[in-house]
A = this chain, B = another copy of it.
Amino acid sequence: MLDITELSRLSGFSASKLRYYEEIGLIKSIGRRGLKRLYEDEVKIRISVISLAQTASFSLNEIKKMIGTEGRPEFDAATLNEKADSIDAKINELASLSKGLRHIANCTAEHHLDCPRFQRIMRAALIKRSKTRRTRPDNTVSY
């Protein structure tokens, strides 16, 4: 059993954020001591997942659909695999961006946006993107 302060310290999430997550049904407290919320240990793994999923740019709504408050999945295997695919695509883009940044860190060109090697790296990332996605979401570039 944890109170909100302990959970906050352990998770690095502010107490207000934890209350907010509870309010929107992402986590739940198992009871109260007086007014004070009490949390089960299980909530820690939920918070880990939430944290990771946010890193992967899932909205709180999507996360809720994935892990639900009751621990029931709302996504079928196909949907989960699709999410995993889109994460993998993102990983590839990030790898390119990282490579690009490391390049311009060492590149002697005045204007790194003009550096042909940098441009090649960026283009490569976008080519992958257009290959791996079916439809064109808002943020997509494909020349």
Contact = CB atoms under 8 A, between A and B. Distances in A.
Interface of A: 10-14, 42, 44-49, 51-57, 67, 71-73, 77-78, 80-81, 83-84, 87-88, 90-91, 93-102, 104-106, 110-114, 119, 122-123, 125-126, 136-143
Nearest to A11: B141
Residue with the highest number of chain B CB atoms closer than 10 Å, among A67, A98, A114, A138? A98
Copies assembled: 2
A38 B18 CA distance: 48
Contacts of A93: 52, 55-56
Contact of A97 (B55, B73, B113, B119): B55
A113 B41 CA distance: 12
Contact of A138 (B12, B49, B56, B114): B12
A97 B53 contact: yes
B102 A80 contact: yes
